[in-house]
Amino acid sequence: MTRNPAYRMGTVVANTSLHGFLSIWKPNGMTSFDVVKRLRRASGVKRVGHGGTLDPAAEGVLPILFGQATRLSSRIEELAKGYAAEILLGTVTDTLDMDGTVLETKTTDDVTDDAVREIIPEFIGEIQQVPPMYSALKHQGQRLYEIARRGEEVEREPRTVMVYGVEVESLDLPRIRLSVACGRGMYVRSLAADIGERLGCGGVLDGLQRVRVGPFNEHNSLGLEEAEEALAGGDAAAALAPLESVFPGWPAVQVRSGFTGRVRSGMDLAAASGDWVSVSGESDDVFCPGPEAGTAVALAPDGSLLALLKRTSSGRWHPHTVFGG
């Protein structure tokens, strides 16, 4: 195999030519940062990040960001997530999953299939959710899980989170298998506990797969070793999804040849201009929410992402984040 230029005499030198996203199917037992370290080594790219932590006990889709894609981490956070979750009713733990210490067990004899199906719609839409103590959120400068590991608990304010849909895939009480589509900041562990509490018997998460993050899903994700092989090959760039792939349906202006330098310099585009042609955007994909009013993307003549744009009060497009060059 032709090796990546980042490999030289058994060592890795900086690779500054790779920019884009690679969707990984993270295995159980690894942290998200473990995956980043291995792919940084395989690619030789210095700037590598991930698109949302996936717990070590969980497996599933983990977008990896290379080069300039790391500047789009906030966009990845905005994308909806899809999960396959298994809930065990009748058990309560301190971590809200089966990795924690069991605090209480209750009978589930009075819980019926109909009762489960009846309460599920209560957890769809904008709901209030208290973040778990075992989470990476901060309280007075400390991670909540650090406080929890000392045996302490602090009050957490409920947060509004979006749940686009919850479907019951199977019922074999006391186990429930769910398919969940949700927005940023929603904890499936907390959802499991809240469902158990609503049913009066408690509940914990006993299995989790993240099957989708925006356009990245279980079908277009690579295994870790497969990804390392692809990145070490001679055409590593072909394995990456381009920067513009996380903006499906966004309105765009395609900048004509000769004017890209102006955009990269931060110069506004006039509302009516020969510098660009307008490309309308439409998407009904709930996993890739559209732009806020007055935002768009600028594409280079070859269709690659050139800049993120905001509409000014004068009607001009201002490039507030530029790429390439």
Exactly one of 34, 55, 99, 114 is catalytic; name it: 55
Half-sphere exposure of 47 (CA within 13 A, CB side): 14
Alpha-carbon gap, residue 323 to 325, rounded angstroms: 7
Alpha-carbon gap, residue 8 to 12, rounded angstroms: 6
For the question of residue 34 being annotated catalytic, the response is: no
Starting at the edge strand that comes first in sequence, how are the strands of the sheet with 305-311 ordered? 276-279, 252-255, 295-299, 305-311, 317-322
Give the distance from CA 263 to its chain's centroid: 29
**What's the farthest any 2 CA atoms get from each other in the chain?**
72
The DSSP code for 262 is H
* Residues facing 48 on adjacent strands: 66
> Residue 118: which of 73, 53, 166, 76 has the closest Cα?
166
How big is the CA angle at 168 (ends 78 and 75), to the nearest 5 degrees? Answer: 5
- Residue 98: helix, strand or coil by DSSP? coil
- Say if CB 148 and CB 140 are below 8 A apart: no
In angstroms, the Cα distances linking 305 to 8, 81, 323 are 31, 23, 7
| Catalytic residue annotation | 55
